[in-house]
């Protein structure tokens, strides 16, 4: 066992290392603060100067992190944030939490990872542990990151160690903060994995080592592919149930009483956020490189992508029953974030619904207490107020996101028609209400 490994592990266990977290978004910032709260010295690095400015002004920009929590951690002196990558040379552990979007629907974009690793490679000091958390296709850590780090002459397992540990942050989920979400770790070598496990055991209750970085990469994609396929299935079944005059929500509620062999998924207007719409398509793309086409992934993705169009078709049908046309109809969309109770618009199906309604010449307004204004593609709107008189003036109200702070009873009392994509009116029978 080399002295670099044993010395680094000892310093990790004694919390005598400095950790750099690269990327201070919804994954990186909570992670950085958790390390600082548990006694590590942490440096946050982000090329987005607006984020750095927020931290320097002691103001949070992440829903899951309150300004008060950020200020408490900053007051300890264990967390600072800058935009200069040269500072990673001060750290013995570097954790990468940068975005991994899609260039096109089926083409991964790991350019942010490559840029971050290239900057790290210029400044890394010998004896450093590097961990990638950004979701990506199996093989990225070994096939892309390892060569980039070694191209300046450093050798893995001698001069540095490399792991992959998939992020599992669930924005808005107060039941599972960072330290309560089990952490999977896979290393390029056993020694790298051992160091990665030691780092995360310093802040997380349960750490799960796996045999390789490639396995850890596949774990994350399995988790979100499982969700994508089951959401696609229940969305398709909801369309089928509508044709058969069956309430799919009642079906799911009854089915979930079975204590084994069933896990409930619920239909919705589409899927947003950074993970589910994208991550399985990384796996789909990588599988094609091996001559394998995953029909399940593509089908589920296509079904879900079609849901905003389907919602608008159903709204048109609801209006037509009342002898109204979608064209020129006044439509109020309630909720524009991709999930309830968070200020996050990434890939929100509500935005697609608004754009499709606008293309169909409907007069669209929206209400969302978390999002005061919208500027997205062709959308340029401000959130309206919810007076009884205002609600009564809309031909149809579309419930697209089920925020806890919205008074749905007030909406029901004053509206003409409602199309409910989230089942907020569960158990309520009214001629006004149509459900997905």
How deeply is 179 buried, as exposed, middle or buried, from its count of CB atoms within 10 A (0-12, 13-18, 19+)? middle
Which tokens go with 277?
């719409």
In this model, does residue 424 exceed pLDDT 80?
yes
Task: Please state whether 129 falls in left (phi above 0), alpha (psi between -120 and 50) or beta.
Answer: beta
Which tokens go with 305?
């992508």
What is the arithmetic mean of pLDDT over 300-309? 96
Pairing relationship of beta strands 183-187 and 207-209 according to DSSP bridges: parallel
What is the arithmetic mean of pLDDT over 285-304? 94
Edge-to-edge, what's the strand order for the sheet holding 41-45? 79-82, 41-45, 18-22, 93-96, 128-132, 160-164, 183-187, 207-209
CATH no. for 3-211? 3.40.50.720
What is the arithmetic mean of pLDDT over 39-46? 97
Per-residue pLDDT reduced to its tens digit, 310-360: 999 999 999 999 999 999 999 999 999 999 999 999 999 999 999 999 999
Per-residue pLDDT band at 173 (split at 50, 70, 90): confident
Active site residue 396: no
Q: Which of 97, 163, 275, 396 is catalytic?
A: 275
Q: What is the CA radius of gyration of the chain?
A: 24
What is the arithmetic mean of pLDDT over 368-376? 94
Per-residue pLDDT reduced to its tens digit, 272-293: 988 888 899 999 999 999 999 9
The pLDDT of residue 103 is 86
The pLDDT of residue 274 is 82
Q: Are the beta carbons of 134 and 112 closer than 8 angstroms? A: yes
What's the pTM? 0.92
In this model, does residue 162 exceed pLDDT 90?
yes
| CA–CA gap between residue 93 and residue 18 (Å, rounded) | 7
The domain ranges of the chain are 3-211, 233-435
The pLDDT of residue 104 is 79
* Percentage of the chain lying above the pLDDT 70 cut: 99
Q: Which candidate, 269, 396, 404, places its Cα nearest to that of 341? A: 404
Rounded alpha-carbon distances, angstroms, from residue 51 to 23, 54, 199, 317, 337: 10, 5, 25, 45, 21
Tell me whether domains 3-211 and 233-435 share a fold.
yes
Per-residue pLDDT reduced to its tens digit, 393-402: 999 999 999 9
What is the arithmetic mean of pLDDT over 91-97? 97
What is the arithmetic mean of pLDDT over 253-262? 96
Per-residue pLDDT band at 1 (split at 50, 70, 90): low
Q: Are the beta carbons of 111 and 141 closer than 8 angstroms? A: no
Domain 233-435 CATH class label: alpha beta
In this model, does residue 64 exceed pLDDT 60?
yes
Per-residue pLDDT reduced to its tens digit, 102-148: 887 788 999 999 999 999 999 999 999 999 999 999 999 999 999 99
Task: Please state whether 13 falls in left (phi above 0), alpha (psi between -120 and 50) or beta.
Answer: alpha
What is the arithmetic mean of pLDDT over 396-421? 97
Query: Rounded mean pLDDT of the chain?
Result: 95
The pLDDT of residue 97 is 97
């Amino acid at each position: 066992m080399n002295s670099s490994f044993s010395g680094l592990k000892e310093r990790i266990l004694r919390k005598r290392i400095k950790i750099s977290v690269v990327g201070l978004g919804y994954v990186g910032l909570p992670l950085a603060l958790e390390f600082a709260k548990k006694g590590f010295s942490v440096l946050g690095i982000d090329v987005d100067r607006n984020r750095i400015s927020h931290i320097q002004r002691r103001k949070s920009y992440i829903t899951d992190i309150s300004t008060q929590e950020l200020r408490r951690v900053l007051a300890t002196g264990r967390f600072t944030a800058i935009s200069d990558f040269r500072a990673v040379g001060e750290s013995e552990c570097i954790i990468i939490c940068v975005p991994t979007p899609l260039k096109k629907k089926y083409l991964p974009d790991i350019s942010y990872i490559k840029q971050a690793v290239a900057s790290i490679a210029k400044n890394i000091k010998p004896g450093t542990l590097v961990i990638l958390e950004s979701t990506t296709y199996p093989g990225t850590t070994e096939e892309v990151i390892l060569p980039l780090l070694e191209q300046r002459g450093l050798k893995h397992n001698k001069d540095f160690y490399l792991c992959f540990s998939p992020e599992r942050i669930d924005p808005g989920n107060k039941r599972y903060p960072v330290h309560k979400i089990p952490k999977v770790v896979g290393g390029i070598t056993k020694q790298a994995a051992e160091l990665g496990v030691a780092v995360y055991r310093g802040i997380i209750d349960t750490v799960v080592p796996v045999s390789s970085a490639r396995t850890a990469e596949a774990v994350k994609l399995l988790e979100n592919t499982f969700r994508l396929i089951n959401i696609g299935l229940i969305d398709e079944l909801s369309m089928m149930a509508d044709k058969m005059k069956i309430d799919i929500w009642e079906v799911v509620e009854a089915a979930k009483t079975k204590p084994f062999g069933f896990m409930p998924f619920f239909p919705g207007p589409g899927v947003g956020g950074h993970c589910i719409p994208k991550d399985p398509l990384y796996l789909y793309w990588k599988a094609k490189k091996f001559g394998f086409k995953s029909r399940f992934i593509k089908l589920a993705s296509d079904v879900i992508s079609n849901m905003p169009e389907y919602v608008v078709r159903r709204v048109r049908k609801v209006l037509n029953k009342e002898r109204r046309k979608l064209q020129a109809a006044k439509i109020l969309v309630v909720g524009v974030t991709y999930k309830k109770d968070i200020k996050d618009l990434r890939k929100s199906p509500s935005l697609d619904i608004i754009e499709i309604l606008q293309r169909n010449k409907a007069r669209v307004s929206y209400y969302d207490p978390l999002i005061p204004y919208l500027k997205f593609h062709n959308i340029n709107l401000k959130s309206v107020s919810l007076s009884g008189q205002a609600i009564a003036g809309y031909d149809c109200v579309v419930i697209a996101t089920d925020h806890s702070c919205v008074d749905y009873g007030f909406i029901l009392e004053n509206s003409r028609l409602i199309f409910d994509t989230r089942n907020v009116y569960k158990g309520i029978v009214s001629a006004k209400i149509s459900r997905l």
